[in-house]
Structure 1
Amino acid sequence: MENPATPKEKRTIKTKSKPSWLRQFNDWFHLWIGIAAGIPVIIISLTGCVLVFESEIGAMLRTKYEVERPAGAHLLPPSVVRAKVLEQLPDMQIRRLWYYGEGKTVRLSPDNSDSLIFANPYTGKVLGMEDHEDIFEFFDEGHRHLWFSREVGSKIVGWSTAIFVVLTITGLVLWWPKNWTIRELKQAFTIKWSAKFKRVNYDLHNVLGFYSMIIALLMSFTGLMMSFRFVNKSVLDLLGGATDRGAEVTAIEAGPTTVPVTMEGKVDLVWKLVTTEIGEFKKDEISIHFPKEDAKWIYACTDMYEGTWRELNFDVNTLALLSNSHAKISEDTPANWMRRSNLSLHVGTFGGLFTKWIFFFASLICGTLPITGFYIWWGKRKKKTGRKVRTSAAG
């Protein structure tokens, strides 16, 4: 017998359309590959949080070596600092010095020791020694190699970073609202703190994951440039190609008219030229090396500002500036700028403390995503198991 109900009285049964194979693959990849890469991502992200503020924390730890600038005193040149330190530590072989500026200590790195020496830049008095293998070295090893050997760990980190890039994109697909209604937009952009933990955890994964996406991709992409040569080369080629520092080295600027005879005098003169004439940013902050016997140039590093720097090489005989030096930041090519600024873009130092805090929280969020994501999967798994048990019991 036919149902006498009118069409208006009939209930429309909605059938849920099956997702496309592309969406199914997206969901599968985000879940299972995300679980597989979860632990490396957690370690890389959380160690990165600490390393973002390495310079600030290091400066705080070095306050015990603070020095006062005597009235009318000036920083001692490298040869004098080295000579005075060697009088106190005669067994050390010292070539590398790092000046942090007026009123701050000078750091010396011996070739025959893992210790770092901190000295008064006005008197040369040794203020203390520290092991180079500090807590930041520990976190850096975890960030770069997961505390494995360099050969094995760097590959795991590199491929885990590449996977994370894809996970970020697949996560965006999962986050994307199906209908851009006010209700769905509110759910996509806000965390419902008053809800149960399961819902809060879901929001922490989706909402915070979305807000940190741009910074996460920037950190990951710059990390890939460090991990894979072909990525680095492709980016630099796209930007016009970086200067080939392996090409023949020639003089690009003439040296001073009068050049000292001794190597100590030459290094001191380079130090003076860089800190008074060549440097543009934080001129009194400089790293300078006494060359080895067979070296062809004297190395100095200046313009260490907001995550970038400028490396300079001077002919060991004429003190002419050589072509294997960095150009001024304002005059450099886009490719060379990218190569020099990659670390700054990776850790967020390009905008000072403001961008550092942004990168810190973004890295922290990235470290929590595998945890909140795993909990979401675990909750759904338990829910499915519970349904099967109830169905079996009912049967």
Structure 2
Amino acid sequence: MIDATPGDARARPAPSWRKKWRKLWLDIHLYIGLVAGAMLVVIGVTGSILVFWHEVDAWLDPQMRVVAARPGGAAAFTTLETIEQAMMAATPPGGRITHVWTPRDERSCYLFYYDLDGDTRRFCIDPYDATKMADRLYYSKESPFRHALMGFLFQLHWSLLLSDLADDGGVIVGVAAILLMVSTLAGLYLWWPAPGKWRSALTLKRGARAERLNYDLHKLGGVYSAAVLLSVLMSGLYMNLPTPFLWIVDHVAPLTEGGRVPSLSEPAAGRPSIGFPAAVAAAVARSPQGHVERVDFPGDAQGAFTVYLNDVTGVGPFIRSRTLTVDRYSAAVLRVHDVTQGTAGDAFLRWQWPLHSGQAFGMTGRLMVLASGLLCPLLFVTGLIRWLQKRRARRATRR
């Protein structure tokens, strides 16, 4: 977004302090766009794909994700206990299961992820007869070019693959998110129309020359995507720089235990760990509404199971998810998380992932995040063209 409409010679001369102030924000908007704009393109386009990553993943690798539907559909699925036995038989020695995605419909499988020798792999278990269908590398510690496509896209999205080279890859993207939020706000300030100019500020000028058309495309692309971009950038900042983000939120709207609520199981005291079917049963007994979407396994002896439910009624019209942590020894439900629980700050944090992924507002939210990500290349290219146009004009004036 730029400082003035091209060719508008009738604009009143602004006071010098306003010109300087506007020039400052124009420079901020310009240089952040030039430096971080290419990063925004990569992050935005990959984010658009990842909004529908389940569907894209199943389309690209049906052997890993798709099973033949049987008569009776989901009602004909075998028991979770049988799935767990198949999981243990399918996990190679030294492998540690980290989480499982449950079937999304009658043609989906149980998708187990596990760590082995530093790599992340996954295998598919048929929900009807518990047979292992495929086992593939998902993410390699050695090279980003050995990742599966989805693993590659996730790493590219959250760290630009810098995490494969250094531990602070996510920090770099988090800092870029801060800069891009500032650039977006600066663009909104520069665009903000005078009274009576709102209609022209929100529409394309008909029959305009290429220069004006480029300006309008940049302006309108930024304006119509600003709200979604700001929410996605803010939630991305939370995920990449959680410690400073939690500190700020806790000082504005106090969080329960500072936002870092431990999910620790009781001491084993000689008790064996329960299996994930028992954890699911405990979560569903506590919250019978909804569909179990995913289960995270304990990471160590004090860890707990985390059960994610979707399509839960009674938690709000826009976000219908709930997360429960379950003790790995006693099967007691330790915590229940959703947007109705805790303080205002807690609720704000629980909005971040649904906003970032598009899960908030259902399919409408997913499409909005998809569109905002696809607009990022338009914003970068039109902004770059506008900068080149103005640079050529300045050189011509000097000559």
Indicate whether the TM-score tops 0.5.
Answer: yes
Q: Using the TM superposition, give the Cα deviation of residue 48 of structure 1 relative to its aligned residue in structure 2, in angstroms.
A: 1.7
Work out whether 1:163 is the aligned partner of 2:179.
Answer: yes
Work out whether 1:151 is the aligned partner of 2:167.
Answer: yes
Q: In the superposition, relative to structure 1, how do residues 233 and 125 fare at CA in structure 2: closer, same or farther (>3 Å)?
A: same
Q: In the superposition, relative to structure 1, how do residues 352 and 38 fare at CA in structure 2: closer, same or farther (>3 Å)?
A: same
**TM-score of the pair, normalised by structure 2:** 0.77
Larger Rg: 1
Written as runs of structure 1 = structure 2, the 5 A alignment for 1:81-96 is 81-84=83-86, 87=89, 91=93, 93=95, 95=97, 96=99
Work out whether 1:127 is the aligned partner of 2:130.
Answer: no
Q: In the superposition, relative to structure 1, how do residues 263 and 374 fare at CA in structure 2: closer, same or farther (>3 Å)?
A: closer
Aligned to 2:356, which of 326, 339, 346? 346
- Residues 315-364 of structure 1: CA distance to partner in whole angstroms, max 9, x if unpaired? 51x33233xx3345544443333333311112321111111111211222
Q: Using the TM superposition, give the Cα deviation of residue 268 of structure 1 relative to its aligned residue in structure 2, in angstroms.
A: 3.6
Structure 1 match to 2:238: 225
List gaps (5 residues or longer) in structure 1.
Answer: 1-13, 252-260, 390-395
- Residues 99-149 of structure 1: CA distance to partner in whole angstroms, max 9, x if unpaired? 225623112233436331111123111122233232222222222212223
Choose 39-48 or 197-206, whichever is displaced more: 39-48
Q: Partners of 2:54 and 2:229 in 1: how far apart? A: 22
Q: Partners of 1:197 and 1:66 in 2: how far apart? A: 51
Written as runs of structure 1 = structure 2, the 5 A alignment for 1:267-278 is 267-275=276-284, 278=287
Structure 2 match to 1:378: 388
Q: In the superposition, relative to structure 1, how do residues 88 and 208 fare at CA in structure 2: closer, same or farther (>3 Å)?
A: closer
Q: Partners of 1:248 and 1:355 in 2: how far apart? A: 30
Choose 201-210 or 267-276, whichever is displaced more: 267-276
Q: Partners of 2:234 and 2:24 in 1: how far apart? A: 23
List gaps (5 residues or longer) in structure 2.
Answer: 1-10, 139-146, 312-318
Q: Report the 3-state secondary structure (helix = DSSP H, G, I; strand = E; otherwise coil) of the residue aligned with 2:207.
A: coil
Q: Report the 3-state secondary structure (helix = DSSP H, G, I; strand = E; otherwise coil) of the residue aligned with 1:349.
A: coil
Q: In the superposition, relative to structure 1, how do residues 123 and 381 fare at CA in structure 2: closer, same or farther (>3 Å)?
A: same
Q: Is the 8 A contact 1:117 1:128 kept in 2?
A: yes
Q: Partners of 2:21 and 2:69 in 1: how far apart? A: 66
Q: Partners of 1:225 and 1:83 in 2: how far apart? A: 37
**TM-score of the pair, normalised by structure 1:** 0.78
Structure 2 match to 1:314: 327
Q: Is the 8 A contact 1:145 1:157 kept in 2?
A: yes
Number of corresponding residues? 357
Work out whether 1:238 is the aligned partner of 2:252.
Answer: yes
Q: Using the TM superposition, give the Cα deviation of residue 59 of structure 1 relative to its aligned residue in structure 2, in angstroms.
A: 4.3
Q: Is the 8 A contact 2:25 2:186 kept in 1?
A: yes
Structure 2 match to 1:392: none
Q: Using the TM superposition, give the Cα deviation of residue 378 of structure 1 relative to its aligned residue in structure 2, in angstroms.
A: 0.7
Q: Partners of 1:213 and 1:267 in 2: how far apart? A: 42
Q: In the superposition, relative to structure 1, how do residues 313 and 87 fare at CA in structure 2: closer, same or farther (>3 Å)?
A: closer
Q: Partners of 1:89 and 1:329 in 2: how far apart? A: 36
Q: Partners of 2:193 and 2:273 in 1: how far apart? A: 68
Q: In the superposition, relative to structure 1, how do residues 27 and 273 fare at CA in structure 2: closer, same or farther (>3 Å)?
A: closer
- Residues 167-196 of structure 1: CA distance to partner in whole angstroms, max 9, x if unpaired? 122212221224x34xx4343111135322
Q: In the superposition, relative to structure 1, how do residues 78 and 175 fare at CA in structure 2: closer, same or farther (>3 Å)?
A: same
Q: Partners of 1:386 and 1:69 in 2: how far apart? A: 72
Identity across the alignment (%): 22
- Residues 10-60 of structure 1: CA distance to partner in whole angstroms, max 9, x if unpaired? xxxx99455323222122222233322222222222222222222332344
Q: In the superposition, relative to structure 1, how do residues 55 and 267 fare at CA in structure 2: closer, same or farther (>3 Å)?
A: closer
Choose 106-115 or 189-198, whichever is displaced more: 106-115
Structure 2 match to 1:6: none
Q: In the superposition, relative to structure 1, how do residues 274 and 156 fare at CA in structure 2: closer, same or farther (>3 Å)?
A: closer
